[in-house]
Chain A
Amino acid sequence: DIQMTQSPSTLSASVGDRVTITCRASQSISKWLAWYQQKPGKAPNLLIYKASTLEGGVPSRFSGSGSETEFTLTISSLQPDDFATYYCQQYSTFPYTFGQGTKLEIK
């Protein structure tokens, strides 16, 4: 199975900060990577697919990049609504696997 490793596990930041979350795959997944945001008690919400394509309705302050084994999710200027947990997921090879999550906290 392909292992997905996110870093950091927890990130403390302030409103207006630029933050980056990294996701590494244990083998090449080309660009078959999605990012999801999850708030407490809610289902996840799709942010980005194919590593860098923004889902419709997602604010442009979110961006994704990377290919093969290394990927990043960047939020250019944190807003209060962005404090949540973020997950990457590879959909290159079954079983599809998620990273362990990155909790973005208010500093």
Chain B
Amino acid sequence: EVQLLESGGGLVQPGKSLRLFCAASGFTFSSFTMTWVRQAPGKGLEWVTAISGSGDTTYYADSVKGRFTISRDNSKNTLYLQIHSLRADDTAVYYCAKDSPSDYVDHWGQGTLVTVSS
């Protein structure tokens, strides 16, 4: 059974940095592209970033390019999201997601809430 468990969220001051984690199990982690999707309170889903199985290729939404960095450690079955210069509009639930071989998301974690406030 695929399991994705996010952690690292919490209350953070504007301008600070934060690293989110996603522990994956139940599948061959290194074989699949992984994705982060976020959802601001009461709002819709926003695709944020994705990384290939090898980690060689990354993609970002324009809204986060330059401040967010996605990475992975295939030896630890762990996905990361480093966020710098946090802003109030980064407040959201951040979901870790596994892509299918055809690139749509087929499994989601339960999400971790990031709140940016002074």
Contacts and interface: CB of A to CB of B under 8 A. Distances in A.
A55 B47 contact: no
A89 B47 contact: yes
B99 to A, nearest CB: 8
Nearest to A6: B44
A95 B50 CA distance: 9
Contacts of B44: 87, 98-101
A89 B46 CA distance: 10
Main SS at interface, chain A:
loop
A46 interface: yes
Interface in A34-54: 34, 36, 38, 43-46, 49-50
A99 B44 CA distance: 8
A98 to B, nearest CB: 5
Contacts of B104: 32, 34, 46, 49-50, 89, 91
Residue among B45, B103, B107 having the largest count of chain A Cβ atoms under 10 Å: B45
B109 interface: yes
B47 A95 contact: yes
Interface of B: 35, 37, 44-47, 50, 59-62, 95, 100, 102-111
